[in-house]
Structure 1
Amino acid sequence: MTRGRGISLRTRILAATVAVALIAVLVTAVAALQLVRSVDTSAARDALSAQVARLANAKPAARDAIIGGLSQLDDAGTLVSTVSRGGVVSGSAQVPRRVVVQLLAGHVVSTTVRVGGSSYLLEGRPDAQGGGVVALQDVGTVRAITPTVLGRLLLALAIGFVVAVVAAFFVARVLAGPLVDLAGAAGRMAKGERNVALRPSRIAEVTDLETALGALDQALVHSEGRQREFLLSISHELRTPLTAIRGYAEALGDGVVPPEQVAQVGKTLEAESNRLTAFTNDLLALARLEADDFPLEPSRVDVGGVLAAAAEAWRGAATSGGVAVQSTAASGSLLVTTDAARLRQVVDGLIENALRVSPPGSSVMLAARREGSEVIVEVADGGPGLSADDAAHAFERGLLRERYRDVRPVGTGLGLSIAARLVERMGGRISAGSDRAGGGGSGAASGAVFRISIPG
């Protein structure tokens, strides 16, 4: 099932930033509305309180004149009344009884009351005559300024929101741009382009991605170069026996081969056919090893017994070449749970490789010992050995073959790669070197050593 491309990172960043800005604007607007209303009410109450205090401290005649003048301005929302020592209310303001009682008791009153279905701010102050002055202001007139102030505030917030959206657009481009470039570079690499130039970024995480992608690019260049060299080598090796087979087949078909040479031609054809078979078998083995359903049949296996059987099987071929094959096993249990046939296949491949490079008079040593929970198997030859770089890359397909094909006997270039993959499939490890940690005997000390670690 093909998945859709999904939403781009740039769109996500833009949407997230816009959403955050919108939430911030809404929260600020709500908080500002409450703050403006609170400030308006507080300011109106302070002004009303100051006015009532001045009236309470004024002389009765002057106070009455002022109150009479204010009575003409009832439409402004401010009402003023006086309370006599006897509790009689005079003026335009309706004063609740509880306020009268508090004033006669000498208390300052500051509250909000409902009169005629409207809310009023009420401020009351006792006077020197034992009564008091009360002023009421309609809350509606107090809050009449709020919409104007709030409108201007919302306009400012809207401008800020627009600025935030524009800034978010550019931020999204700045943040997502390098990733878009990396995606494009990865796409070009996927199409086969190599050594893709990457534009440096100042974002640390993007720089990490660029470094990883650059390393992948170089690894692909190296790997594909190795594969190209390997394929060229294999094609050359296949072409050589095929050319020989075709040439002799044409000669036989044309009847130009003398009768006394037919047997020799037949042996040549057999030898070249065997070379082709070896290459084909190795290639098929590698293909099977890389398949997910590669079969293994684990059981309890005596590693010492596997080495002894392998040494006996190869002793005849080794003797004909003047090479001795010896097998030693340390005391104690060398039982492991693994596939006996696959383990023998690995050992056989290493012995064949060792016999190829071991000169007459030398030895191929097989040894096994236990180290903790693992059993160590060593196959050491008496050949020219391996350099440090050889050992590091010994299991890469065809590498050693390309290096030494004109120097010493070599195989198909696939054997060590097959051995490494078999050991990996069995859950073990394999390494190459020129030193033996636990082997014995003589004649192989200067050669190569292949060491296998098998979990017990």
Structure 2
Amino acid sequence: MSGGRTPCGSLTRAVVGLTTAVAALAVLLTGLVTWQSAAHGAEQRERELLTRQATVLSRVPDLSPLLFNGAQVLGGPNGEEFAVLTPDGRVAGVATPALDTASRAALLAGRPVSTTGVLAGQEVLLVGRPSLRGGAVVLTEPYSVVDRNTGRIRRSTVLPLLVGMVGAALAGALLARRTARPLVAAAHVAHRLAGGERGVRASVDGPREAAEIIHALDVLDAALARSENRQRDFLLSVSHELRTPLTALQGYAEALADGLIGPARLPEVGRILADETQRLDRFLGDLLDLARLEAEDFRLDTGRTDLAALVAEAAAFWAGPGAGHGVRLRVEPAAGPVPAGPPPVVDTDAFRVRQLIDGLVRNALRVTPAGGDLVLAVRPAAGGGAHLQVRDSGPGLTDDDVRVAFDAGALYERYRATRPVGSGLGLAIAHRLSGLLGGTIGVEGHGPEGGAAFTVTLPPTAGRADRARPAP
């Protein structure tokens, strides 16, 4: 069962849906506010109209004749009714029943009134204004006029709100298409890369983040091309290295089977066959080591390790092969930026560290000429841990060599015709081992002895730098 997440739809649909949802929410909130404010606005407008009329009438010198004679004309189509409050408190006019005691007292005291009341069984707006000579003018209007105006305002807002929602959806669609276009292009490029195509390029047309994705895919494309070229070259060199001893073995085996080799040459042929099989065995052993280091079940058996003692042990073992090659092998005492003190002790896998040292020494011994030096050094590292060094007086490495030194087969292909070489896997194994131990490995093209200088830095406690897993 896959642990990945199931895709939940296209980005375009997601952006359109999100934009439409936001627009719908905005429209809904706007509609609610408009719906509530429409009634208040309509009522306020009618009160202002009644107030202006009442103010005009209240300034007429003789209220009663004017009001009663022109009441029908002034009432208009909205059902407005009038009443006149005299200075002595008497009220006359159709709107009289709507004027309550509190409103009457306020008007007689010279204060304006704006309230609601009941006239002929229906709710009305009531506005009163004191006159210049005492008394007041009272106007009423049915509240149904307010309701009618409120409905008209509300209906007039529906279409703009719907247009706004549609416009937001269209804007969201355009935005989604604009945003998704570079991502779709990036996905297309990624699929082509996954399908094995190389040199694929996508145009950068979109926001900065999309441009960064396209740039990352371009970098990945170049890295895949380099890696596959190196892998192809490595496989070619592997096949060549396997074919050479196999051809020799096959040739001598057929010659022996055909009786073409006399008894006098049998010891010589036997030595040749043994050398070729040993060469083949070493090569296959390196391949298996590299495969084991890449395995998920690779284990570390950690414990307190005296690195100085481990280096001395390795030096004692390699002293004999070094002398056989005419190479002086020595151990350099702790020195450098950290003062000499107690032997560096770290919590690591001693067997794997020894395997790492042996691989570097074997590589250095191969290129160091007779009469040269091979140095093993160990010293404490600042902040804990330790540095292990393997230096030689061989031909060294160029700056370009240093950049690819730990790529499987890279130096092998460069120097197979000019220097003694092994399987081409030793430095790749050393690099992998260093990482599995939680450390790092670096190389200087020309160290103190003139040749290459490899430095392994181990932490105080072993750990998997790239794929941490505790030892069982």
Q: Same fold (TM over 0.5)?
A: yes
1:187 and 2:191 are equivalent in the alignment: yes
- Structure 1 residues 345, 57: CA separation in 2 closer, same or farther (over 3 Å shift)? same
Alpha-carbon distance in 2 for matches of 1:253, 1:300: 56
Q: Secondary structure at the match of 1:202?
A: coil
User: How many equivalent residue pairs?
Assistant: 447
Q: Is the 8 A contact 1:304 1:328 kept in 2?
A: no
Q: Is the 8 A contact 1:87 1:131 kept in 2?
A: yes
Equivalent of residue 43 in structure 1, options 42, 45, 66: 45
Query: Which residues in structure 2 correspond to 1:134-283 (within 5 Å)?
Result: 134-283=138-287
- Structure 1 residues 367, 82: CA separation in 2 closer, same or farther (over 3 Å shift)? same
Corresponding residue of 1:332: 341
Corresponding residue of 1:289: 293
Query: Which residues in structure 2 correspond to 1:48-447 (within 5 Å)?
Result: 48-58=50-60, 59=62, 60-67=64-71, 76-93=78-95, 94=97, 95-115=99-119, 118-330=122-334, 331-333=340-342, 334-372=344-382, 373-436=384-447, 445-447=449-451
1:292 is displaced (CA, Å) by 2.3
More divergent stretch after superposition (382-391 vs 110-119): 110-119
Deviations 1:73-123 (A, max 9, x none): 6x7331211223332322111211111111222221112234455332111
Q: Secondary structure at the match of 1:367?
A: strand
- Structure 1 residues 374, 4: CA separation in 2 closer, same or farther (over 3 Å shift)? closer
Q: Secondary structure at the match of 2:332?
A: strand
Alpha-carbon distance in 2 for matches of 1:182, 1:307: 51
More divergent stretch after superposition (235-244 vs 55-64): 55-64
1:193 is displaced (CA, Å) by 0.9
Alpha-carbon distance in 2 for matches of 1:88, 1:202: 80
More divergent stretch after superposition (101-110 vs 116-125): 116-125
Q: Secondary structure at the match of 1:86?
A: coil
1:68 is displaced (CA, Å) by 5.9
Corresponding residue of 1:439: none
Deviations 1:326-361 (A, max 9, x none): 113324222222111111111111111111111111
Q: Is the 8 A contact 2:397 2:446 kept in 1?
A: no
Counterpart amino acid of 2:354?
R
Alpha-carbon distance in 2 for matches of 1:379, 1:68: 117
Q: Is the 8 A contact 1:67 1:91 kept in 2?
A: no
Counterpart amino acid of 1:379?
V
Counterpart amino acid of 2:363?
N
1:29 and 2:39 are equivalent in the alignment: no
Alpha-carbon distance in 2 for matches of 1:292, 1:225: 25
Deviations 1:282-312 (A, max 9, x none): 1111111112221111111111211111111
Alpha-carbon distance in 1 for matches of 2:137, 2:320: 130
- Structure 1 residues 135, 369: CA separation in 2 closer, same or farther (over 3 Å shift)? same
Q: Is the 8 A contact 1:369 1:376 kept in 2?
A: yes
Q: Flag structure 2 segments of 5+ consecutive residues without an equivalent.
A: 335-339, 461-472
Alpha-carbon distance in 2 for matches of 1:15, 1:325: 73
Alpha-carbon distance in 2 for matches of 1:226, 1:114: 97
Alpha-carbon distance in 1 for matches of 2:87, 2:131: 9
Q: Flag structure 1 segments of 5+ consecutive residues without an equivalent.
A: 437-443
- Structure 1 residues 262, 396: CA separation in 2 closer, same or farther (over 3 Å shift)? same
The RMSD of aligned alpha carbons is 1.9
Alpha-carbon distance in 2 for matches of 1:243, 1:429: 39
Q: Is the 8 A contact 2:396 2:446 kept in 1?
A: no
1:384 is displaced (CA, Å) by 0.7
Q: Is the 8 A contact 1:196 1:217 kept in 2?
A: yes
Corresponding residue of 1:440: none
Deviations 1:159-214 (A, max 9, x none): 23222222222221111111011111101111111111212213111001111111
Corresponding residue of 2:9: 7
Counterpart amino acid of 1:122?
L
Alpha-carbon distance in 1 for matches of 2:257, 2:215: 61
Identity over aligned pairs, percent? 41
More divergent stretch after superposition (212-221 vs 135-144): 135-144
- Structure 1 residues 348, 131: CA separation in 2 closer, same or farther (over 3 Å shift)? same
Counterpart amino acid of 2:233?
E
- Structure 1 residues 69, 418: CA separation in 2 closer, same or farther (over 3 Å shift)? closer
Counterpart amino acid of 1:291?
A
Normalised by the length of structure 1, the TM-score is 0.93
Alpha-carbon distance in 1 for matches of 2:72, 2:11: 72
Counterpart amino acid of 1:396?
D
Q: Is the 8 A contact 2:331 2:376 kept in 1?
A: yes
